[in-house]
Amino acid sequence: MKTVTVKFTGKSPLSFGKYIQTPKEDRETHDAHDERTWRERMHYNENGEVFITEMMIKNMLSEAAKFRGEQIKGKGKSTYTKHFEAGIFVNTPMMLGINKDDVECEVIIVPTDGKRGGTTRVPKRFPKILNWAGQAVISVLDETITKDVLERHLTDAGNFIGIARFRPRQNGLYGRFNAEILSWE
């Protein structure tokens, strides 16, 4: 097993779209509820520090492997996808060093049914982090994933997949990043 420390540096804003679980208060409008609770769309700890979850990073790498479709030399048509899906895990959330109260709000008009092209639209508030960076520790269990392979997948993940809400893979603009492997042990 290899333990890899990766530094992520955002090259486009980051935004989250986590489901808000706080119920509406009596006679509170949808808009007032959204204005009161929009910060809940972010992931943050008890101190209010915003983070990117382990599964967001892992799923982003698995999606990059599917996107690349790179074949493994000497293994016929076999690709790296299953190796990334089963052979890596992220140990801890990637802390961003940003407090939830310091994040700006972005109001977007979105379809009420959540599907692109919907006819009925409403304003919704989303967190928007302009400058972000953090480190993640990734355990690579599968020996098929070498340092060079991981670097290529991280590069494509940063350019074409992205992370969080409104990312490139979902036809968005946010969540792009540069990634640098700091250690491979």
Instruction: Identify the domain containing residue 124 by its residue range.
Output: 2-184
Query: Residue 97 — left, alpha, or beta (φ > 0 → left; ψ -120 to 50 → alpha)?
Result: left
| Cα-Cα-Cα-Cα dihedral sign, residues 12, 13, 14, 20 | negative
CA distance 138 to 106: 31
List of the chain residues with pLDDT < 50: none
Q: Which of 53, 64, 57 is nearest to 161 (CA)?
A: 64
CA distance 144 to 85: 12
**What pLDDT does residue 97 have?**
98
**What pLDDT does residue 119 have?**
80
**What pLDDT does residue 41 have?**
98
**What pLDDT does residue 175 have?**
98
- For the entire predicted model, the pTM comes to 0.93
**What pLDDT does residue 72 have?**
95
Q: What is the CATH number of the domain that holds 119?
A: 3.30.70
CA distance 168 to 157: 10
Number of domains observed in the structure of the chain: 1
pLDDT in tens, 72-100: 999 999 999 999 999 999 999 999 999 99
